[in-house]
Amino acid sequence: MSLHTVFKKEDPSIYHVQTHARGPIGQLPLTAQMLEESPSGDIFGMTQNVGMGWKPEELLGKQVLILGTNGGIRDHDGSPVALGYHTGHWEVDLLMAEAAKEIREEKGVPFAAFVSDPCDGRSQGTVGMFDSFPFRNDAALVYRRLIRSLPTRQAVIGVATCDKGLPAMMIALAGTHDLPTVIVPGGVTLPPTVGEDAGKVQTIGARFANKEITLKEASELGCVSCASTGGGCQFLGTAATSQVVAEALGMAITHSALAPSGQPIWGEMARQSARAALEMEKNKITTKDIVTDKAIENAMVVHAAFGGSTNLLLHIPAIAHAANCSIPTVEDWIRINKKTPRLVSVLPNGPDYHPTVRAYLAGGVPEVMLHLRKLGLLHEDVLTVTGATLGENLDWWEQSERRSAIKKRLVDADGIQPDEVIMSPQQAKAKGLTSTVTFPSGNLAPEGAVIKSTSIDPTVIGDDGVYRHTGVAKVFTSEKDAIRAIKTGGIEAGDVMVVMGGGPLGTGMEETYQLTSALKYLPFGKHVSLLTDARFSGVSTGACIGHIGPEALADGPIGKVRDGDVIEIVIDCVQLEGTVQFIGTKEKPLSVVEATKLLETRSVHPELKPNAQLPDDTRLWAALQAVSGGTWRGSVYDVDRILEVLEAGQKALAKERSPI
């Protein structure tokens, strides 16, 4: 590198630097009262608004802040100038623009700010995953600061799509109690006409290593998977489930979740959401009127009916905490999942692997809610951002032209009947759909664990609906070692993979989709179970038990397992009950009581330690969320609890240091 490389031959015209300008034409619409009583910041804000090109005579409209997760830079024709991290935030600016135009047409004054978000798919298997979950808390914090930093805003619209950006946005807006807020889900990408969805395509490395596909096939499949330029992945992973939950909470307008990105119906949704925000402001409806205990329970019911990502077990409690609502307990999740049938047949759960755009065209969230209403599982009296109650929204939807038109489009475009995607409870039962999640416990998970039991391969489940697997443990203290074993033949049918050290203290609670996806798409994978204190991608399937607590580095028993230990797994997919037990070794079988006592005497695995590349930022997050109740309370920051612990620690240190 040299100065000549940096300062190439310059056009002399750039030296003609302007040193002053006339400034905007016109006058601020000030009054004597404003000058005498308003904060200087409000008045200077008007100066800056016209400095950015807003007409002075249009300054006094209602101010609406539009927050978005937009990433990358698109040229005027949509081509990339600079890439974003993922398709999910690539077109978010278009939605924000549609909302802003609507606000302006209604004589309002839109503002916009961005906090982009990472991609869990892009960071799978990398140290980037150590920042994924903690990012959610950080982004929610910044969104709240941005909201408060525009004191004149009268409503807030949040436009977001994917795994961490949308949960962060919901948390931030749920905590904005006294303002009208509306979520605009960023939509989904289309599946390729010929090819694989974005979940399956993430396994091309493992399948190639196991000689399941050729290099040419891997290259071609990897190229076409994201078939349209914007939107979250085509399966009901964390991104799509978060959109569903936003609508189920009443924070997003009716039939907005899972809209196909970039299409007219998607853009119109942003304009409708802007009108909703303005109407909320006019009618003095605020977030605390929308996000209530009943709304939280509705979201949990809809989550179960869709068969949504287990990551929402981390996000819904955090939303409840931000909204000052009751935080759901494991018992609440069990109760709701036991009474709520799964009604949606989409990727990744099946049994028929429809992409999410088909769920949208089959009627989306309101269509599922119509079935749930008949079962008496919803609180219909909750208020939503439409200004109407949920019951009123569903009455409208049931008779709407929109409902019939989009269902017809599904039949015309794909030849799929809507009730093949969203089923009645009777159809779902006949099709073999089972409830969504089970929370096993046992001597390896005394605080509990999570498995998406609906996604265990049905061929390995007994006729009684129970998955049983007793196998020998193969222990890994990093995901990197575990995926290497899968790719190099170190894992066989019948094994129980134990991946420890993946909780908040070890890796920031990394997502282990590399492992779960490989097991799904390898021929022997359905005969392998996976236990981990890490978490899973929303697209994960199989006998994969995660969120095991306590985590290994918090002296959890999972951190004491050794190669060769025998582990017994029982998951009742009907009663939603299960156990994960260490029962000795092949040479020395033990009763559960004996095995539990042996675990108590063992030391932790000698290779167990936090990842050496774990950032200090994530270490701080892990400590703060642990003090606040940990993952079962949503990995939130409970400020009162944190301050209490800090104060106690300071007193203890002062006492320790004081002379006797």
Catalytic residues: 537
C-alpha to C-alpha distance for 527 and 495, rounded to whole angstroms: 8
Rounded-to-integer distance, Cα 222 and Cα 197, Å: 10
Residue 206 and residue 95: Cα distance in Å, rounded? 37
| Euclidean distance between CA atoms 505 and 503, whole angstroms | 6
Q: Which two tokens stand for residue 380?
A: 């219909």
**Helix or strand run (H / E) with residue 337:** helix 330-339
Partners of residue 569 on adjacent β-strands: 469, 580
Half-sphere exposure of 309 (CA within 13 A, CB side): 29
Q: How is residue 149 written in tokens?
A: 């930093």
CA angle 325, 69, 121 (to 5 degrees): 95
The answer to whether the CB of 96 falls within 8 A of the CB of 143 is no
Name residues whose C-beta falls within 8 Å of residue 659's C-beta, 6 or more positions apart in sequence. none
d(CA 224, CA 658): 67
Cis ω for the linkage preceding 260 (within 30 of 0) = no
DSSP state of 433: -
Q: Residue 157 to residues 48, 114, 608: CA-CA distances in angstroms?
A: 22, 12, 44
Beta-carbon-side half-sphere exposure of residue 492 (alpha carbons within 13 Å): 3
- Give the Cα separation of 269 and 580 in Å (integer): 45
